[in-house]
Chains A and B, each alone.
Chain A
Amino acid sequence: MENKYEKEFTIKMIFTAIKRHFRTLIYFLICFTAIGYTYGYMLTKVNYKSTGSISTTYSLTVSQYGSIVDTTKYQVPALVETDLAEQGIKHADGTAITLAEINNGLGIPEVPNTIKTLTISFSYTNSDKSVVKPVLNSILQQSVKYNNEHNVVQSNNPLAVVIVATEPTTTSNPMTKLLLFLGAGLVIGALIIIVKEWNHYAIDTPSDIVDLEKGAVTIEYRGGNKNAK
């Protein structure tokens, strides 16, 4: 009766595959790390973000909260543009900060169904680290000024800046991208070598042919001269 070879997917096979094709796996890791580095540090623009808050003394209604958010979104940016120009705050390369930049970078909170806090947090994001903090401070100040002047809140419960703009931090971490690519390289490389090994699994130890019920001997020939005559 013929011995039929039935492939079995085992942990041993995975370890053997990785051991045999370790170099291939390293090549995959190097390639994917290089791609991840290029993508993360060279191709992707790094953005910086700062946050700050305004607050009232007493609690706000949902309507007041919504009004503050809306005025900050639609009215304040134009005021900020003027304010920045007056203060002489510009990009590092000397160009002016545009209204579109302010609108695009401004992060406003969702209006909640019930107000549980006195503070309203805003954020500002820009690729120029040097302008992030001053722009957000201007947004906070202009928002407070506009809403107080236009009686969005009661005069006995005025808005004030409670947390000034924080030091800018990167929003897209290149290291995270690099690590993601490294992980992808590891997974893809491992999958390829496991599939390759699965299709052409070569003997590792006599236990691989134990089903043949034929005694097998391992011959230690490492370092021997196979061409010895």
Chain B
Amino acid sequence: MPSNLYCRHFLKQLGSPNSNTKLYNSILALQNEIVINCPSNNKVLGIVSVEDELYSAAIAKALVEFYEIHEEKTLLLNVNMHNDIMPIVFEGKDYQVLEKMTLGKTSKEGFATYKTLGLEEFSSEVLHSEEFKAYMQKVREHYDHVVLMLPPIPEYRDVLLLKDVMDCAVLITKRDRTEVSKIYECVNFLKKNEIPLATISVVK
């Protein structure tokens, strides 16, 4: 059971208590849906959005914090090279940033991070490399959950490079903003590329 301290931390991280009691319950429902639709294979979860990256990043973080509250060791890995909204790797109860970097080829820290993986720079080739696959295998063994933050689809097709290391995907949509036709397009895109879709979440 999560301690009060963690619950308070969750609320503090994600906004006002009123809204986040609801958020906590929403994430619980999201997790249930993931377990129902991908019962055996949901360790490495890809968070993809249709267009609104900010909400997908926030929901990815909320999901990680939810796992942490339930004392499950979780890694949040931002592999979206098209934004610079947050550090790349989170881990631990206090959300210590293990390898802080902002995404972007000019970031020295980012360069250093991928240096540790034996990679020269962060690009699509990184995601396609054997080193990255080995790294993902290592984190798969080490963590209870791995949440991958991916760029929006189908605009960016990086998700295809990760389909082998990812168990299932969660599609994030924004109420009043994401067009229904685009959601169909994304679902068809995932289906066509044989990427299991755990659920679609509508951020209110």
Residue numbers of A with Cβ under 8 A of B are 2-5, 20, 200-206, 208-209, 212, 214-229
Query: Is B176 a contact partner of A204 (Cβ separation < 8 A)?
Result: yes
Contact A228 B16 (CB under 8 A): no
Query: Which residues of chain B have C-beta atoms less than 8 A from A2's C-beta?
Result: 188, 191-192
Does B176 contact A20, Cβ atoms closer than 8 Å? yes
B: interface residue count bin: 35 or more
Indicate if B33 sits at the interface (CB-CB under 8 A): yes
Contact A219 B26 (CB under 8 A): yes
In this assembly, does B86 line the interface, its C-beta being within 8 Å of a C-beta of chain A?
A: yes
Given known pairs A201-B180, A224-B15, A224-B19, the reply for A219 and B200 (CB within 8 Å) is no
Whether the pair A219, B187 counts as a contact (CB closer than 8 A) is no
Pick the contact of A202: B58, B178, B200 (CB < 8 A): B178
Complex CA distance for A228 and B59, rounded to whole angstroms? 11
Give Cα distance in the complex from A143 to B30, angstroms.
89
State the B residues within 8 Å of A (CB): 13-16, 18-20, 22-23, 25-27, 29-30, 33, 36-37, 54-55, 57-59, 61-62, 85-87, 173-181, 183-184, 187-188, 191-192, 197, 199-204
Kindly identify which residue among B61, B180, B187, B199 contacts A217, using a CB–CB cutoff of 8 Å.
Answer: B199
Shortest distance between the CB of A24 and any CB in chain B (Å) = 14
Smallest CB–CB gap between B37 and chain A, Å? Answer: 6
Q: Which residues of A contact B199 (CB under 8 A)?
A: 214-217
Contact B14 A228 (CB under 8 A): yes
